[in-house]
Amino acid sequence: MRTADFLPPEVFADHLDRRKTPARLLVVAGVAMLGVLVSGAFALEAARLERAAAEAERPDPVAEQAARDLDRIYGEMERYAVRLDPLADHLGRPTVSWILSGIADRVGSGVRIEDLVWSYRPGVPDPRGRPQPDQVELAVTATVVGKGPLLELGDHLLDFTGFDRAEPRRQEVVKDFRDAVRVEVVLTKELGGNGPGGDR
Amino acid sequence: MRLPRTTPLAVHFGDDETRFLQLRGRPGDWQVGFHARVAGDAEELAAWAGEVPARGWKGRDAVVGLGPAQVESTIVPLDEEDEDGRDQLLAQAALTCVEDEEGVRYRWLPLGRTPGTRRRELLLLAVGESRVRRAGAAAAAMGLRPVSLEPVVFGLARAILAMQETTGAPWGFLHVGFEQAVFGVLHRGEVGFLKPLQQNGRSFLDALSRKAEELEEEPLPLVLEEATADHEQVSTATVWSPARLRRLSLDHALELLEAAERPADLLADEVRACLRHFHSRHKGAEVRGIHLSGFGATLPGVEEAVQRTLGRPVAEARPFSELGILAPPEILDEEPLWAPVLGLAMRGYA
């Protein structure tokens, strides 16, 4: 409702503004109280975590006893370590028994394995002095009938053994055996490589 | 008693008394937080105000109301071609209404258009600067901070509007102050008409007192001092107090009603003229009834006499009861006198 106020309108507007002040203070107090409550909740959670951490760090008699037993076991194991190290070294080297048992079936038809010779070459530093890995060589002597099997023999051996290289060394005709050739292929693998044979 | 902190204190400087009222709570759930009535002149108010600092009023916001006798109101017609010079015209009209060496302060409200013309009517309210200064000084003496200075009839209109909010129909209000009576109409939530009347509460009191003298030969209990125009001589008039008249009306209701009829007829003629004016400006808007407030409303027989002569519903304004405001018995006994003060206190909430 309009009225006739003989005082300037700003005076009553200021009064209305002052009238709102308690409500504003209530809102501010509410927000402040909310802040206090949230802070309190954080403080309680922090205290709980701190207690949990202190609890976790407190010496546990069972764990201490277990640690002592473990140290004792390690101490006893140390005495056998000298003997166990070469064994572990040996077990780390590539095995060849699976090659011997399976190579005859994997070189293809028309090929007959006659001889297998293993050799081991320690690594010799190159002229610049950089160390070179040790190598293992497998010399395969086989009789091959037909041109196709002869050409595929190297690939078959590499596929099966996982060696790095296959290099033919010697070929000769087999007497009284038509179309047959005796061939020697040398397979080479660097020890410590990631070929399939080295990991088996 | 300590005052509520957020609600303003309503102060009504009346003709021969000052009323204080403060509400507590919120709209719809109001209760009277503080009330006081100080009878007498400014000297007695100052003496009473001397105790105020002990009440902790310092700096409290006060909505101040001036009685009808202190504010001049008139309706100013304004032609469309005079719109440019409106402020000058209103200033001249205000200076004509009020004589004050310190100056005149005025406000105006639009009332509506005159049908069939290019003229509209403005309600002009003017008050002397010296009255504004005295009201401010009196409030300041009590430590109060005036935040509004309204004609108290606007407080009455606000209280009645709160009572009639749901109906929306025009309602009249007749404030019969001791020195000045005012008739107004509330229309569409605004004061749609307002006019001071010639009759006042004193004319009713005089007529009733004369009748009371005929009925009983007891000493006259109330003596009114009346300052003459030159403010030096003081004449005295003797009348009966309203409370004593009410007691007398228990045995002599008919006689007092007859005594009130003459001034009621004169008052009704003025109100009828006002209603004709209002209805001619607002076709189809029929005033449902009239709320009676002020000193005259508390006199016995006045309500009935006005109703009978006007021929439409007239009822004492009882906003505390109507709005369900919790109030002490001394306020409920004199609701028509407290209604304008309540409206002052409700400013900014309605």
Whether A19 and B348 lie within 8 Å, measured CB to CB = yes
ipTM for this prediction: 0.85
Chain A residues lying within 8 Å of B8, measured CB to CB: 15, 19
DSSP assignments along B154-220, one per residue: HHHHHHHHHHHTTT-S-EEEEEE-SS-EEEEEEETTEEEEEEEES--HHHHHHHHHHHHHHH--PPP
For residue B170 the two structure tokens come to: 């025009």
pLDDT band at A165 (very low <50, low <70, confident <90, very high): very high
Note the pLDDT tens digit of each residue in A4-42.
999 999 999 999 888 887 778 889 999 999 999 999 999
For residue A2 the two structure tokens come to: 């309009």
Distance from the A39 Cα atom to the nearest Cα atom in chain B, whole angstroms = 32
Whether B107 and A22 lie within 8 Å, measured CB to CB = no
Phi first, then psi: give them for residue B109, nearest 5 degrees. -135, 145
- 3 state DSSP class of A185: strand
Of all residues in chain A, the one with the smallest CA distance to B155 is A3
Give residue for tokens 């009882």: B318
Q: Are the CB atoms for B184 and B193 separated by under 8 Å?
A: yes
Note the pLDDT tens digit of each residue in A113-164.
999 998 888 888 888 888 888 888 999 999 999 888 988 899 999 999 888 8
Residue B218: predicted pLDDT: 55
**Domain residue ranges in chain A:** 9-58, 62-92, 97-199
Residue B39: predicted pLDDT: 83
Of all residues in chain B, the one with the smallest CA distance to A2 is B190
Architecture of domain A97-199: 2-Layer Sandwich (3.30)
List strand residue ranges (DSSP E) for B178-326, in order.
181-187, 190-197, 222-227, 234-239, 290-293, 314-316
Give residue for tokens 């975590």: A49
Residue A199: predicted pLDDT: 36
* Distance, CA of A150 to CA of A111 (rounded, Å): 8
Return per-residue pLDDT of chain B as tens, 350 residues.
455 566 899 999 887 789 999 999 888 889 998 899 988 766 777 777 777 766 677 888 999 999 888 899 999 999 888 888 899 999 999 999 899 999 999 999 998 887 778 888 999 999 999 999 988 888 888 888 999 999 999 999 999 999 886 666 899 999 998 888 999 999 888 999 999 999 888 888 888 888 877 777 554 455 454 444 444 444 455 566 777 777 777 777 777 777 778 888 888 889 999 999 998 888 888 888 999 998 888 877 778 878 887 888 999 999 999 999 999 999 999 999 999 999 999 998 86
Q: How many CB atoms lie within 10 A of CB A194?
A: 8
- Average pLDDT of every residue of chain A: 86
Looking at the complex, does the CB of residue B146 fall below 8 Å from at least one CB of chain A?
yes
Whether A5 and B148 lie within 8 Å, measured CB to CB = yes
Chain A residues lying within 8 Å of B153, measured CB to CB: none
Q: Are the CB atoms for B93 and B83 separated by under 8 Å?
A: no
Instruction: For residue B11, list its beta bridge partners.
Output: B20, B64
Of all residues in chain A, the one with the smallest CA distance to B165 is A1
Kindly state the greatest CA–CA separation across chain A.
Answer: 141
pTM over 0.95: no
Residue B321: predicted pLDDT: 94
